[in-house]
């Protein structure tokens, strides 16, 4: 008998004006010790199917199934006691965002111990001891301290480890991981995936990995279920799905992993479209010292030099907190810089008054990550796209509307969308509108701040394709900000890697991938999930100290620059700069 048996599962949600079918006739099984991946985009029903297995759906959900069994228990008929057995002991779950998955007012230790005590007769003391052991098993070094930490005192990666420890606390037979790494940085993602595989083997559990990311699938599972719009498209061994996909949707998913790169045309002009010279941002932080306040500077971005050549795409890549978004916002003058210059086509705009800046605003536009909050919900799409024309007084109202309509065409939306509102669109469609609004003024510089990171894989590939097409048509110079090296691979001409507020490496895209020099760049590349299960491997991860210690050391002869006690950016090949110590 299988551990998980689902046959003809149907879930619909009651809503105003009828029911919405989320899952339509899904069947699958999971055996003991097996790893099953469920891949699909948002709304495909992958999370809902697993939530139904633990009866975690809201009361508005209507669930029916021929068979819905977990560890021999009929889930639909489970009483109170059965539910306690199902949840935590038969199956444990880990969730997408570790920052919101813990109760903020209790310590980590309390929350793990209470799980143990909910399932077993265990004294508070024993439960706490066991919680500490579990934390150690998920490779948290200062486990005894972490027991007494509150969730807000830990980073996302540490919290996800603690969440895994909590899931393990009742020795579940199957671990359900619902997008466990989507909210994390790439390097942390790789560590968490490796940890999940490790504990799965140690505890002999089955694994259900729910994700939208084929890379995560390739890294972690034996068998794959591809879901689309509430139905199973195909299922099979992971290698077979990657090598000989049957269904069109699966093929589309796989194609998004292997987009081809074509360099942009560039320009003869030597003047960069956008140049940042010594741009820095420091925040004053107030600290309490007894009765008085003390002010400390926090350097979010340290004196950055960066050039965006005309008609080129440059990526800024780095983890959260690396200063990449701050840099982009400073370049747009949406955040005030503490010092440094911003040159647009050779003109310094860093000290211009708002009025003097206005004509420059026409030439530099921005696209944000969250298209939902970036579009005014009270305006129609035509109004949204035409608004920049109105602000800058371009053309008559009639012409403005006409231009907006033609831009709907250009970004691949039907003209009939003109009178719709943002909430009627999907995430990908909204991002298309945001791109149209940014480009309607025909700017020369576009800053795209993680424009695809909130999107599903296939949609992401479409948006990248659209940006690339428009860039070539308009001769745009684009600064593409991303946390993920694999996203930029098919799009950008060169890559700037930021780490802790500094640029640590900068090189043409192919060189970054083929010959990375800085240990942090290498760590980033190492963490990118594989694109085929054949290539999966065990990885070593560097701590921040190790990265610092492995900073390249070069001599004055090699670099031709003066020695310095601190690392500095030095050129090691045309267009390739790396942060290194220079000694005699």
Partner 1 sequence: MLGFILRRLVSVAFTFIAVSIIIFLMMHAVPGGPFDANDMPVSEAVRAKMMAQLGLDQPLYVQYLRYMWGVMQFDFGVPYQSPGESVLQLLSRAWVPSLVLGGLGVLIGAPLGILLGMAAALNRNSWIDYLASAVATIGLTIPVFVTSMLLILVFAVWLKWLPASGWPHPERWILPIIAYAAIPVATYARYTRSAMLDTMSRPFVTVLRAKGLSEQRIVFQHVLRNSAIPLVTVFLPMFIGTATGSIFVEAMFRIPGLGAYFVSSIETRDYPLEMALMLMITFMYCIAYLLSDIVYALINPRIRVGGAE
Name which of 560, 73, 71, 74 is nearest 63 in CA terms. Answer: 74
Question: Of the two residues 81 and 270, which places its CB atom closer to partner 1 in the complex?
Answer: 81
Taking the C-alpha atoms of residue 427 and residue 432, their distance in angstroms, rounded to an integer, is 9
Question: Of the two residues 94 and 273, which places its CB atom closer to partner 1 in the complex?
Answer: 94
Name which of 421, 392, 389, 426 is nearest 404 in CA terms. Answer: 389
Q: Residue 56 CB, nearest distance to partner 1 (Å)?
A: 6
Q: Residue 460 CB, nearest distance to partner 1 (Å)?
A: 24
What letter would DSSP give residue 336?
Answer: -
Question: Of the two residues 78 and 316, which places its CB atom closer to partner 1 in the complex?
Answer: 78
Q: Please name the residues in contact with 549: beta carbons below 8 A apart, sequence gap of 6 or more.
A: none
Question: Of the two residues 107 and 482, which places its CB atom closer to partner 1 in the complex?
Answer: 107
Taking the C-alpha atoms of residue 176 and residue 337, their distance in angstroms, rounded to an integer, is 45
Q: Residue 103 CB, nearest distance to partner 1 (Å)?
A: 5
Q: Residue 236 CB, nearest distance to partner 1 (Å)?
A: 29
Question: Of the two residues 83 and 394, which places its CB atom closer to partner 1 in the complex?
Answer: 83
The answer to whether residues 71 and 3 touch, using CB atoms and an 8 Å cutoff, is: yes
Question: Of the two residues 32 and 82, which places its CB atom closer to partner 1 in the complex?
Answer: 82
Q: Residue 319 CB, nearest distance to partner 1 (Å)?
A: 16
Question: Of the two residues 292 and 584, which places its CB atom closer to partner 1 in the complex?
Answer: 292
Q: Residue 288 CB, nearest distance to partner 1 (Å)?
A: 7
Question: Of the two residues 9 and 78, which places its CB atom closer to partner 1 in the complex?
Answer: 78
Cα 331 to Cα 334, 457, 522: the distances in Å are: 8, 29, 27
Question: Of the two residues 127 and 497, which places its CB atom closer to partner 1 in the complex?
Answer: 127
- Integer-rounded Cα radius of gyration of the chain: 26
Taking the C-alpha atoms of residue 485 and residue 524, their distance in angstroms, rounded to an integer, is 7
Strands 67-70, 73-74: parallel, antiparallel or unpaired by DSSP?
antiparallel
Tokens representing residue 458 in the block: 């296939």
Question: Of the two residues 114 and 510, which places its CB atom closer to partner 1 in the complex?
Answer: 114
Taking the C-alpha atoms of residue 221 and residue 237, their distance in angstroms, rounded to an integer, is 9
Q: Residue 62 CB, nearest distance to partner 1 (Å)?
A: 17
The answer to whether residues 43 and 89 touch, using CB atoms and an 8 Å cutoff, is: no
Burial 496-529 (b: 16+ CB within 10 A, else e): bbbbbbbbbbbbbbebbbeebbbbbbebbbbbbb
- Applying CB under 8 A, the residues found at the interface with partner 1 are 54, 56, 80, 83-89, 92-93, 95, 97, 100-107, 114-115, 118-119, 149-150, 152-155, 158, 163, 166-167, 170, 288, 290-291
The answer to whether residues 145 and 4 touch, using CB atoms and an 8 Å cutoff, is: no
Tokens representing residue 479 in the block: 């600064």
Question: Of the two residues 56 and 296, which places its CB atom closer to partner 1 in the complex?
Answer: 56
Q: Residue 84 CB, nearest distance to partner 1 (Å)?
A: 5
Q: Please name the residues in contact with 420: beta carbons below 8 A apart, sequence gap of 6 or more.
A: 380, 381
Q: Residue 10 CB, nearest distance to partner 1 (Å)?
A: 21
Q: Residue 217 CB, nearest distance to partner 1 (Å)?
A: 22
What letter would DSSP give residue 561?
Answer: S
Question: Of the two residues 19 and 571, which places its CB atom closer to partner 1 in the complex?
Answer: 19
Q: Residue 483 CB, nearest distance to partner 1 (Å)?
A: 21
196 membership: H or E segment, kind and range: helix 186-203
Is residue 199 helix, strand or coil?
Answer: helix
Tokens representing residue 117 in the block: 């005590």
The answer to whether residues 89 and 96 touch, using CB atoms and an 8 Å cutoff, is: no
Q: Residue 142 CB, nearest distance to partner 1 (Å)?
A: 9
Torsions phi, psi for 302 (to 5 deg): -105, 115
**If DSSP states are collapsed to H, E and C, what string results for 295-335?**
EEEEEEEEEEEEEECCCCEEEEECCCCCCHHHHHHHHCCCC
């Amino acid at each position: 008998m299988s551990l998980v048996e689902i046959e003809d599962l149907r879930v619909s949600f009651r809503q105003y004006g009828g029911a919405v079918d989320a899952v339509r006739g899904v069947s699958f099984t999971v055996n003991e010790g097996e790893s099953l991946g469920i891949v699909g985009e948002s709304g495909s029903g992958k999370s809902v199917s697993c939530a139904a297995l633990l009866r975690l759906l809201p009361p508005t959900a209507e669930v029916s199934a021929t068979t819905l069994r977990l560890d021999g228990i009929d889930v639909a008929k489970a009483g109170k006691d059965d539910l306690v057995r199902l949840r935590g002991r038969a199956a444990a779950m880990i969730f997408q965002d570790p920052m919101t998955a813990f109760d903020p007012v209790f310590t980590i230790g309390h929350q793990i111990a209470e799980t143990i005590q909910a399932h077993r007769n265990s004294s508070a003391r024993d439960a706490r001891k066991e919680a500490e052991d579990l934390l150690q098993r998920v490779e948290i070094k200062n486990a005894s301290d972490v027991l007494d930490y509150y969730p807000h005192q830990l980073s996302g990666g540490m919290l996800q480890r603690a969440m895994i420890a909590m899931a393990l606390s009742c020795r579940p037979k199957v671990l359900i991981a619902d997008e466990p790494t989507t909210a994390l940085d790439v390097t942390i993602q790789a560590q968490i995936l490796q940890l999940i595989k490790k504990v799965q083997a140690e505890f002999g559990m089955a694994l259900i990995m729910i994700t939208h990311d084929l890379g995560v699938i390739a890294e972690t599972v034996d068998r794959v279920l591809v879901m689309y719009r509430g139905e199973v498209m195909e299922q099979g061994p992971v290698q077979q799905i990657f090598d000989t996909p049957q269904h069109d949707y699966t093929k589309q998913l796989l194609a998004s992993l292997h987009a081809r790169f074509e360099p942009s045309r560039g320009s003869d002009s030597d003047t960069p479209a956008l140049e940042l010279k010594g741009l820095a941002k420091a925040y004053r932080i107030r600290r309490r010292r007894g009765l008085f306040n003390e002010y400390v500077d926090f350097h979010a971005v340290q004196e950055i030099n960066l050039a965006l050549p005309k008609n080129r795409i440059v990526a800024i890549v780095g983890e959260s907190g690396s200063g990449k978004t701050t840099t982009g916002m400073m370049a747009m003058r949406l955040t005030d810089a503490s010092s440094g210059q911003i040159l647009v086509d050779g003109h310094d705009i860093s000290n211009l008054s708002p009025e003097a800046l206005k004509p420059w605003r026409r030439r530099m536009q921005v696209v944000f990550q969250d298209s939902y909050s970036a579009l005014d919900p009270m305006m129609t799409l035509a109004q949204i796209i035409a608004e920049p024309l109105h602000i800058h007084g371009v053309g008559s109202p009639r012409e403005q509307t006409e231009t907006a309509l033609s831009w709907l065409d250009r970004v691949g939306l039907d003209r009939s969308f003109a009178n719709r509102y943002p909430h009627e669109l999907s995430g990908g469609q909204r991002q298309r509108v945001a791109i149209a609004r940014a480009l309607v003024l025909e700017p020369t510089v576009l800053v795209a701040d993680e424009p695809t990171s909130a999107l599903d894989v296939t949609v992401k590939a479409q948006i990248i394709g659209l940006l690339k097409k428009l860039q070539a048509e308009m001769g745009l110079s684009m600064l593409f900000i991303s946390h993920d090296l694999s996203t930029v691979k098919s799009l950008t001409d060169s890559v700037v890697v930021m780490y802790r507020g500094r640029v640590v490496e900068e090189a043409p895209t192919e060189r970054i991938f083929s010959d990375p020099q800085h240990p942090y760049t290498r760590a980033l590349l190492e963490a990118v999930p594989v694109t085929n299960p054949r290539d999966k491997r065990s990885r070593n991860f560097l701590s921040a100290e190790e990265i610092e210690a492995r900073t390249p050391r070069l001599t004055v002869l090699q670099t031709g620059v003066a020695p310095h006690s601190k690392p500095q950016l030095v050129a090691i090949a045309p267009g390739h700069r790396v942060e290194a110590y220079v000694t005699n």
